[in-house]
């Protein structure tokens, strides 16, 4: 293994984590800011990653009986007014369409809005209200239920402070919206989709997550139960990576989603909604990337490997390229995790070092370098992006072991992230210990402290002042291994459950 003092990304994680994050995105050419405030441009490498995420999730949604559909981008203002909590949650940050054309402005010589709308339209921040209005028409009888629909769409929330992938005014996501005849079935759906998200996070993204229920203060506006998956980033902060909501009858009452049940009685339906977004790309970066840039889990990588041909002159060139092309083709006949293996062959006219670092920064799982000497031995030089291990392999060994190698990288990324999560998760029983855990030891490096504090707590109210002071939030009440009552770390009172406390994105 080669060791080197300089890193491809500057600053490093330890030096300045937020700036490192921006530089990883830049180095991998995943996205960049646009001239439109808070809106990002997702560049081809970042978009291909999102497409692979979509493909993986979409398959899981369909396997659990869901279908895709598409609903309008715009929501009439009056629809938002119907569900009181929902208004509260979304009215403060939305794009409002008030006109339907532009006309010449004699004053400026430019254009000005014209054709005022009778009723303003909101660009959807989420689609419960517009989809609910359609469901109210579609649902008449218990025979029409359940409705199990998902939508892939763009949504807009007028965020004041934005950060690429993590928080942008416009983002891409999927939103599932289901309707059920019974409370039990809707609750089952809510947890089923949480499990789908956890499965995707752990088995595709290689990001370990904690499944849990949100406290009342952290629920989706209008939900009776919100459950989420929470992941630990490398700065030990939490990132909410997906949410699933049991909406009770709140939206069905507001929107009159009613049906005739088996006994001929008219009843309000029970609804759920659930979503993940391009935020997952942010989670992926902050879980796996290192000081040399992006590190992609093979199951989602747009390219599993890149072949770099090495030659000095034209006479060497054709033979080397031919060898590389054959290897590329042979590897591409294999499949990994339900997708044909994709191998890039990079024959651009760049300096070897530049080319190598280009792919390191993009996070391609395997780099394969092949020159005349390798060909003479029928061997190839292979470097793993995750561990940086490098070795010479017989060509056949690479071909036969290729899927195993990808799988080993996929597992290693998960194990590494899991180890990080376990290492920085601590059961905390006193306020002093809690304060200590969330207070940086060293003012130079304010980000690298804390983690997940697992604490019994009595009530949201009793801990809120301390949380506000330390900028910590209750992430969730974990669903697993959480049956033992204990003592509240703040009040000393009896407490039934533990919660995960953390600083968060």
Binding site for its own copies (CB under 8 A): 32, 34-36, 39-44, 47-48, 50-51, 67-81, 87, 91-103, 110-113, 115, 120-123, 130, 133-134, 149, 153-154, 156, 158, 170, 172
* Separation between Cα atoms, residue 291 and residue 314, nearest integer Å: 36
60 vs 466, beta carbon nearer its own copies: 60
Q: Is the dihedral of CA 11, 12, 17, 21 positive or negative?
A: positive
Select from 243, 201, 209, 203 the least CA-distant residue to 225.
Answer: 243
279 within 8 A of 171, measured Cβ to Cβ:
yes
CB of 376 to its own copies, least distance (A): 33
CB of 258 to its own copies, least distance (A): 17
CB of 352 to its own copies, least distance (A): 17
CB of 321 to its own copies, least distance (A): 19
- Structure-block tokens of residue 116: 């005022």
44 vs 492, beta carbon nearer its own copies: 44
54 vs 316, beta carbon nearer its own copies: 54
- Structure-block tokens of residue 322: 């031919």
* Separation between Cα atoms, residue 49 and residue 302, nearest integer Å: 6
CB of 75 to its own copies, least distance (A): 7
- Structure-block tokens of residue 332: 């591409």
Q: Around 45, how many Cα atoms within 13 Å sit in the side-chain half-sphere?
A: 22
81 vs 318, beta carbon nearer its own copies: 81
- Structure-block tokens of residue 326: 């054959």
156 vs 232, beta carbon nearer its own copies: 156
47 vs 191, beta carbon nearer its own copies: 47
Q: How many residues in the chain?
A: 505
* Separation between Cα atoms, residue 376 and residue 75, nearest integer Å: 66
- Structure-block tokens of residue 166: 């993590």
| Long-range contacts formed by 443-446: CB under 8 A, 24+ apart | 445/14
Select from 465, 501, 494 the least CA-distant residue to 238.
Answer: 501
67 vs 390, beta carbon nearer its own copies: 67
CB of 112 to its own copies, least distance (A): 8
Give the angle 276-278-282 at the CA atoms, nearest 5°. Answer: 110
463 within 8 A of 251, measured Cβ to Cβ:
no
CB of 47 to its own copies, least distance (A): 5
305 strand-pairing partners: 343, 366
* Separation between Cα atoms, residue 163 and residue 67, nearest integer Å: 32
* Separation between Cα atoms, residue 215 and residue 196, nearest integer Å: 21
CB of 171 to its own copies, least distance (A): 10
CA distances from 55 to 152, 492, 497 (A): 11, 48, 37
CB of 169 to its own copies, least distance (A): 8
123 vs 360, beta carbon nearer its own copies: 123
CB of 288 to its own copies, least distance (A): 22
170 vs 235, beta carbon nearer its own copies: 170
95 vs 345, beta carbon nearer its own copies: 95
**CB-based contacts of 377, cutoff 8 Å, min separation 6:** 392
* Separation between Cα atoms, residue 307 and residue 382, nearest integer Å: 9
CB of 296 to its own copies, least distance (A): 17
93 vs 318, beta carbon nearer its own copies: 93
Q: Is the dihedral of CA 495, 500, 502, 505 positive or negative?
A: negative
CB of 8 to its own copies, least distance (A): 21
57 vs 149, beta carbon nearer its own copies: 149
Residue 344 has phi, psi (to 5 degrees) of -90, 145
Bridge pairing between strands 343-345 and 425-427 = unpaired
Q: Reduce the DSSP state of residue 336 to 3 states and report it.
A: strand
């Amino acid at each position: 293994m080669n060791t080197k003092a300089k890193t491809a990304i500057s600053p490093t994680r330890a030096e300045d984590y937020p700036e490192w994050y921006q530089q990883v995105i830049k180095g991998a050419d995943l996205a960049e800011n646009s001239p439109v405030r808070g809106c990002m441009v997702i560049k081809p490498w970042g978009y291909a990653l999102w497409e692979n995420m979509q493909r993986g999730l979409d398959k899981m949604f369909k396997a659990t009986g869901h279908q895709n559909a598409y609903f309008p981008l715009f929501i009439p203002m009056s629809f938002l007014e119907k569900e009181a909590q929902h208004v509260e949650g979304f009215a403060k940050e939305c794009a409002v369409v008030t006109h339907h054309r532009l006309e010449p402005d004699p004053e400026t010589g430019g254009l000005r809005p014209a054709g005022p709308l009778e009723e303003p339209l909101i660009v959807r921040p989420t689609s419960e209200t517009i989809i609910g209005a359609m469901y109210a028409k579609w649902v008449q009888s218990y025979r029409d239920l359940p409705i199990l629909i998902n939508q892939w769409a763009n949504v807009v929330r007028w965020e004041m402070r934005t950060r690429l992938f993590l928080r942008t005014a416009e983002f891409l996501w999927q939103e599932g919206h289901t309707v059920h005849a019974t409370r039990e079935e809707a609750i089952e759906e809510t947890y089923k989709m949480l499990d789908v998200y956890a499965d995707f996070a752990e088995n595709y993204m290689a990001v370990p997550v904690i499944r849990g229920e949100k406290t009342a203060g952290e629920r989706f506006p209008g939900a009776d139960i919100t459950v989420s998956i929470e992941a630990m980033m490398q700065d030990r902060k939490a990132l909410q990576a997906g949410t699933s909501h049991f909406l009770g009858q709140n939206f069905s009452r507001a929107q009159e989603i009613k049906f005739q049940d088996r006994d001929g009685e008219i009843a309000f339906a029970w609804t759920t909604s659930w979503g993940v977004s391009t935020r997952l790309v942010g989670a992926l970066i902050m879980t796996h990337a290192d000081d040399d840039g992006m590190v992609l889990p093979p199951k989602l990588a747009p390219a599993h490997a890149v072949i770099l041909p090495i030659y000095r002159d034209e006479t060497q060139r054709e033979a080397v390229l031919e060898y590389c092309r054959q290897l590329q083709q042979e590897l591409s006949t294999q499949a990994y995790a339900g997708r044909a293996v994709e191998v890039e062959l990079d024959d651009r006219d760049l300096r070897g070092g530049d080319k190598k670092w280009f792919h390191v920064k993009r996070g391609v799982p395997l780099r394969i370098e092949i020159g005349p000497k390798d060909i003479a031995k029928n061997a190839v030089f292979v470097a793993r992006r995750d561990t940086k291990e490098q070795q010479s392999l017989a060509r056949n060994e690479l071909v036969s072991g290729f899927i195993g190698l990808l799988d080993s990288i996929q597992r290693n990324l998960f194990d590494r992230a899991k180890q990080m999560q376990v290492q920085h998760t601590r059961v905390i029983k006193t306020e002093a210990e809690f304060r200590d855990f969330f207070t940086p030891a060293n003012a130079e490096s304010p980000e690298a402290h804390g983690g997940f504090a697992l604490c019994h707590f009595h009530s949201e109210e009793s801990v809120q002042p301390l949380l506000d002071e330390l900028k910590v939030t209750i992430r969730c009440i974990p669903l697993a291994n959480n049956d033992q009552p204990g003592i509240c770390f703040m009040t000393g009172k009896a407490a039934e459950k533990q919660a995960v406390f953390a600083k968060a994105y």
